Structure 1
Amino acid sequence: MTQQPDWYTRGRRHVWLPYTQMQTVRPPLPVTSAKGVRLTLADGRELVDGISSWWATVHGYRHPHIEAAIQRQLETLPHVMLGGLAHEQAYILAERLAAMLPGDLNHVFYSDSGSVAVEVAMKMAAQFWLNQGQRRVKFLCFRGGYHGDTFATMSVCDPDEGMHSLFKGALLEQLVVDLPRNPAQEAALGELLDRHRGELAGIIVEPLVQGAGGMVFHDAFTLQALRRLADAHDLLLIFDEIFVGLARLGDDMFACRIAGVQPDIVTLSKALTGGTLPLAATIASARIYEGFLSDDPLHALMHGPTYMGNAMGCAAANASLDLFEQEPRLEQSRTIGRQLERLLAPARDLSGVRDVRVRGAIGVIQLDGTAPADLLSAACIARGVWLRPFRDILYTTPPLITNEADITQIATVMVEAVTEWSNETRG
């Protein structure tokens, strides 16, 4: 076995890893540096990162424009609380996000992670009604959905198939249904909402792609139906764009714009800073914002993460938005999608493969049972690609700067790894 770095050997027994059974886990790979789309391991190997460090490093690692912006901010104002104080980067970023999003989604509340951004969105929606004297604190959410790991967000994830099923019964009970995909299902959902009138604050959905719940795709009809249902039943509509927002789907910067639907609240994180620093935003419409304006101090949104609007994070996000404006990320996303469509197609003929699907710069091979995640991951690593399968899914969400040769390598490795598994287990 290759000699591991001293920091790794000494620290490994103290680090509790995410989504990991620590008793049986294979040792994680020590990374010593990253550049572009490549991770360099302590033993000198290089891996092409096929999942953008959980979908965040859309511009690749160590983009000089983002690094320079962070360095400048570090030298002047690394952080200052937003309670009673203001700084340039947070205010510029809020104005830019408001200009990018449709309609009157103009009011930006910062936090430091995607889960917290969704918590804030849920809190906004519930308090919007509480401020009007209505106790409407539950949400309509969807099977296959995933919105984070904090306590409230767990309650709006898939309660049975998701990673938080262990907590079923311990969380606030929500109204969980299938996504409406046709007029008949929309009508049936409308009847269900009639029966729950007065108790629901809103509807929360991952627009166009449900990510960590299984990389499940739906079309614009679903989102348009949810907007109609929200309007008909006086519900607030929340789009969780933490995964799909900021060019991942290729057709536009945001899924809400692709679908032609304006939600009442949008959440963003991950690609917001290009995967450099933690930052998230919950953006509300004028109606939501005005629902908190009052002479009563208790009508204020009582939330405030210590590092909300962190100056270096906002500087990184502004630099990231510069790159979306200056470099062809949407076209790159579409190009990646076309290549993945072609290169992943052979997997459809493999025994044990249920589905192969691509949307923008997302490529998925779905197996007909729980994926042997460790074996598939090891097979990909041996071929020079970092992928992290989950459940029955082997997928790629590469940095949007990934070139044709590296996409070819990623897709080829995915098909080869599944072929190897199929031959070994299916004969």
Structure 2
Amino acid sequence: MTPLEFDASHLWHPYTNVADPGPMHLIDRTEGVYLFREDGTKMIDAMSSWWCTIHGHRHPAIVSAMQQQLEQMPHVMFGGLTHNPAIELGQKMVSMLPEGLDRIFYCDSGSVSVEVAMKMAVQYQMAHGRAGKVEFATIRGGYHGDTWKAMSVCDPVNGMHGLFRGALSIQHFLPRPLVRLGDDWIDDGVQNGLAALEQLLKEKGDQIAALILEPIVQGAGGMYFYRPDWLRGAKSLCDAHDVLIIFDEIATGFGRTGRLFAIDYAGITPDIICLGKALTGGHISFAATVTSRKVAYGIGDSEAGVFMHGPTYMANPLACAAGIASLGLLEDGDWQARVAEIEAQMTTELAPARDLPGVADVRVLGAIGVIEMKDTVDPGIAHQRAPETGVWLRPFAHNIYCMPPYIISPDDVSRVTAAMVALARGDG
């Protein structure tokens, strides 16, 4: 049995029918922006391996940091113990985040960081005598992970977890912000979508612990970009009703939108922020839930007196070392200029897709490029073409999109955009 035959017979891949997994590429090694198949064929990783390898694969600084840490201390429990990698990474994160977000809870993955944020919100409300505040509000089109509570705030109709909506906690879903990024802001609450939030909080505010959403860019829920003005209005409404606001920046954090965090466009500070993916430059799974002293100390005043969560691999030193190196590259590098160049080039090169008959929209923000189709895209076609085009794309729903590493060259950006336009055109 060949390795690929064993894979097809025994390994279960994400979002895949085990009886018909579709085309599969056996990747032998990675380097920079490239994935190398076992036969030597190389493909540009236009997905940044699910949006996390912002500095490219096997970046020497991150690899070296992990190797040194591996020889010194790969892991130690975080209960009652601490270590310098966790402390140094925390110092870097606090210096990067908006003032006031300075209590860091390290997690295993982005989905877990959402679970942690939701537990924080509920325990905080209980500590303040608001035991009825155990529900959550969110907006349509969102995606927050695959774990159980996180699924309950993903879009229950059009999202990836609609199948489970009868088994999940019932949450409150609002219309997605109605004014797209790039359009003129409309102050009217009905036309911009804030009126729905205002009405919900008037009616159900005593039941809602927090509003959770992805700021500016909705990722796996549809690659929808919206105006930051909505976030400012939402924060004001939530504050008035003692509802916390949680920003899920797992996909957008650490420069993906052209700014360090998507919330930088809005100029507001959430009560809790979820971070992951690019935190380690995509070299090892890691995440963090960061909150304010108000929330952290409030939880300390709860009946339990402690926050009731503690992953085994919390603050894993190996992951912390990778995170220190990754954030160091953002501190010392010219990532912002590179992302701006990627944005300008993709804007120009994806523009012709607007005239194609099957295309509904084309949009670009930072190192995110999207061709939205009128009909659902078959990802299998992109997978089959990848060795020929030399570009690894993974479309979903109606979207052909890319999120390349920031180190991608202009020539490789052109290869990515050409592959996207060709797929939208239906070539081959």
Is 1:117 equivalent to 2:113 in the alignment?
yes
Letter of the aligned partner of 2:381 in structure 1? L
Q: CA deviation at 1:295?
A: 8.4
Query: 1:6: how far off?
Result: 4.0
Aligned residues of 2:281 and 2:323 also touching (Cα < 8 A): yes
Matched residues in 2 for 1:380 and 1:419: separation? Answer: 16
Task: Look up the equivalent residue of 2:296 and give its one-letter code.
Answer: Y
C-alpha deviation, 1:351, in angstroms:
1.1
The separation in 1 between residues aligned to 2:243 and 2:302, in whole angstroms, is 25
Q: Distance in 2 between matches of 1:365 and 1:294?
A: 49
- Letter matched to residue 14 of structure 2: P
CA offsets 1:25-50 (integer angstroms, 9 cap, x no match): 21310000000000110111000110
Partner of 1:106: 102
Distance 2:4 2:71 in 1: 31
Aligned to 1:143: 140
List per-residue Cα deviations over 1:100-134 (Å, max 9, x = no partner): 11121000001110000000000000110112222
Q: Give the corresponding residue for 2:235.
A: 227
Q: Does 1:199 align with 2:207?
A: yes
Q: Which runs of 5+ in 2 are unaligned?
A: 180-185
Task: Determine the structure 1 residue equivalent to 2:183.
Answer: none
Judge which range, 6-15 or 269-278, deviates more.
Answer: 6-15
2:182 equivalent in structure 1: none
Whether contact under 8 Å (1:247, 1:253) holds in the other structure is yes
Query: Counterparts in 2 of 1:181-220, with a 5 A limit?
Result: 181=179, 182-183=186-187, 184=189, 185-220=193-228
CA positional deviation for 1:210 = 0.2
Q: Hey, what's the Cα distance between the residues in 2 that align with 1:234 and 1:89?
A: 36
- Partner letter of residue 282 of structure 2? G
The count of residues paired between Structure 1 and Structure 2 equals: 416
| Structure 1 residue 187: Cα displacement | 3.1
* Correspondence for 2:359 among 322, 341, 353: 353
**What are the within-5 Å matches in structure 2 for residues 219-298 of structure 1?**
219-250=227-258, 252-294=259-301, 296=303, 298=304
Matched, 1:324 2:345: no
**Structure 2 match to 1:334:** 340
Q: Find the counterpart in structure 2 of residue 44 from structure 1.
A: 40
CA contact (8 A) 2:47 2:394 kept: yes
Q: SS where residue 209 of structure 2 aligns?
A: strand
Q: Which runs of 4+ in 1 moved over 3 A?
A: 5-12, 180-183
Q: Contact between 2:124 and 2:302, CA under 8 Å: does it hold in 1?
A: no
Q: Is the 8 A contact 1:380 1:417 kept in 2?
A: no
Identity across matched positions, percent: 45
Shift of 1:11: 4.1
Aligned residue type for 1:217: F
Aligned counterparts of 2:388 and 2:426: Cα–Cα separation in 1: 12
* Secondary structure in structure 1 of the residue aligned to 2:360: strand
- 1:381 Cα deviation from its structure 2 partner: 3.9
1:366 Cα deviation (Å)? 0.7
Q: Equivalents in 1 of 2:13, 2:393: separation in Å? A: 17
Letter in 2 for 1:419: R
Q: Which residue of structure 2 aligns with residue 14 of structure 1?
A: 10
2:370: which partner in 1?
364
Is 1:73 the counterpart of 2:69? The answer is yes
Deviates more, 1:183-192 or 1:158-167: 183-192
Instruction: Give the residue type in structure 1 aligned to 2:378.
Output: P
Instruction: Tell me how far apart the structure 2 counterparts of residues 10 and 189 of structure 1 sit (CA, whole Å).
Output: 50
Q: What is the CA-CA distance between 1:22 and the residue it aligns to?
A: 1.9
Query: 1:339 is matched by which residue type in structure 2?
Result: Q
Distance 1:396 1:43 in 2: 25
CA contact (8 A) 1:380 1:414 kept: no
Conserved 8 A contact 1:73-1:312: yes
Match of 2:349 in 1: 343
Measured after TM superposition, the shift of residue 9 of structure 1 is 3.3
Structure 1 stretch displaced more, 392-401 or 128-137: 128-137
Aligned-residue Cα RMSD (Å) equals 1.4
1:68-116 C-alpha deviation (Å, 9 max, x unpaired): 1001100111100000111110111112111211121000001110000
Using the size of structure 2 for normalisation, the TM-score is 0.95
Q: 2:308 aligns with which of 302, 307, 311?
A: 302
Residue 375 of structure 2 corresponds to residue 378 of structure 1: no
Gaps of 5+ in 1: none
- Answering whether residue 167 of structure 2 is matched by residue 170 of structure 1, we say yes
Deviation at 1:10, TM superposition (A): 3.2
Normalised to the residue count of structure 1, the TM-score between the two structures is: 0.95
In the other structure, the counterpart of 1:392 is 398
* AA aligned opposite 1:206: E
Task: Give 1:188 deviation, angstroms.
Answer: 3.8
Q: Name which of structure 1's ranges 28-37 and 91-100 shifts more when overlaid on structure 2.
A: 91-100
Distance 2:153 2:225 in 1: 18
Counterpart AA for 1:275: G
Shift in alpha-carbon separation, 1:378–1:12, aligned structure 2, 3 A: closer
**Whole-Å separation in 2 of the counterparts to 1:381 and 1:174:** 43
1:377 and 1:389 in contact (8 A); partners too: no
Matched letter for residue 375 of structure 2: G
CA distance in 2, matches of 1:211, 1:188: 22
116, 122, 128: which one aligns with 1:126: 122
CA separation in 1, counterparts of 2:302 and 2:409? Answer: 55
Any idea what SS the aligned residue of 2:21 has? coil
Q: Does 1:416 align with 2:416?
A: no
Deviation (angstroms), 1:261: 1.0
369-378 or 304-313, which deviates more: 369-378
